[in-house]
A = this chain, B = another copy of it.
Amino acid sequence: MKLSFSKQNLLKGINTVARAVPTHTTMPVLECIFIDASTNQITFTANDTELGISTVTNGTIVEKGTVAINARIFSDIAKKLPDDLIRMETDERNTVTITCGSVVFNIPGQSGEEFPYLPAIAKDKAVTLSQFLLKSLIEQTIFCTAPNDNNKMMQGELFEIRNGVLRIAALDGHRIALRTVALDGTPDDEKVIVPGKTLQEVARILGNDTDSKVDLFFTKNHLMFSFDSTLVVTQLIEGEYFRIQQMINCDYETKVTVSKNDFAGAIDRSTTMIRETERKPIALKIGEDVMEVSANTELGRMNDRIPATVEGEELMIGFNPKFLLDALKVVPDEMVTMYFSGSKRPLFIRDEESSYLYLILPVNMGV
């Protein structure tokens, strides 16, 4: 095999797939990026068997072939090469020679015969979104997954299509994130649970523009994302997802609208009074046209008064400040509206149409 790349294209190819390389594995070949230049294009693939990413990389094929190269070393070398034409060549023992200007590397490769190809998924009926929208949907929900929870469901997100509407949900036992978006066309109904790790990687490599599209292909056991020259294939989490709809209701006793930045600033300030090891709650006190944010611990007291538009009952309620901040960080609006039903019942942060909805359980203030 003989290939050549610009540094930029080589790095792009490596960076796109590298995060699908498992950090710990008993199969050494999985620590590799598999380079397939056996046809008339160069494909880089990494595959931890749950998540696989492949991407077509711009370069010149001088002589066709395949090779698998340790991903960490390959990435290290590529980053540190001069910004010049990079030539790559393998010999019959799969030793890879990488040349760039006066620099020569010789590193052991593998034939890649035992490298697991991505599952073949027919590209028949696609669900299409803009890359920007899918990236936003993931970023606005992913923080509510619980990556280390024993409950596998909580490590993933629900992707549900019903009547042409896509709903993405995540929950971790203390809070729920839910995003809803109407799809173009007449997509089939679907209901799958996608691993959070996959979604994080997809969000990382998706573009930021609304013009570029991403196609989703659903099968019984897999979901495939296809965009630009990249394919991401993930296994799905098996099981029945939590019945989120039952946990959500639109009744409320108190409706409060405040500036998102004022509120986030006050919460952030309140955390200076809370030792990280303690997890003390902060208090929201909702009055006639003001919401007070306060914290009171042995470190000291903090109080901030935020102008608010209030409908309904006055209220005092406690929250884990991190949960409030996490939701505020991803709410797209400058003014945020919160719905309360007393100090023991969940808070809902949502827009009028519930295109986004965050449920956060309150914390007993222990007063």
Contact = CB atoms under 8 A, between A and B. Distances in A.
A83 to B, nearest CB: 11
A302 B269 contact: no
A193 B308 CA distance: 60
Interface in A254-290: 265-266, 268-269, 272-273
A272 B301 CA distance: 51
Interface stretch (A103-111, A126-134, A209-217): A103-111
Interface stretch (A74-82, A182-190, A218-226, A241-249): A74-82
Contacts of A82: 265
Q: Give the copy number.
A: 2
A273 B80 CA distance: 12
Given A73-B272, A272-B73, A272-B76, A303 B81 contact: no
B300 A73 contact: yes
Interface residues of A, number: 27
A108 B81 CA distance: 56
Contact of A80 (B102, B104, B269, B300): B269
Nearest to A77: B272
A265 B80 CA distance: 8
Interface string A84-114: 0000000000000000001111111000000
Contact of A106 (B104, B108, B265, B300): B300
B80 A301 contact: no
A152 interface: no
A120 interface: no
A299 interface: yes
Given A76-B272, A80-B272, A272-B73, A102 B299 contact: no
A258 to B, nearest CB: 12
A201 interface: no
Contact of A105 (B80, B105, B268, B302): B302
Interface of A: 73, 76-77, 80-82, 102-108, 265-266, 268-269, 272-273, 299-306
Q: A-B pairs with the 5 shortest C-beta distances?
A: A107-B300, A76-B272, A106-B301, A80-B269, A103-B304
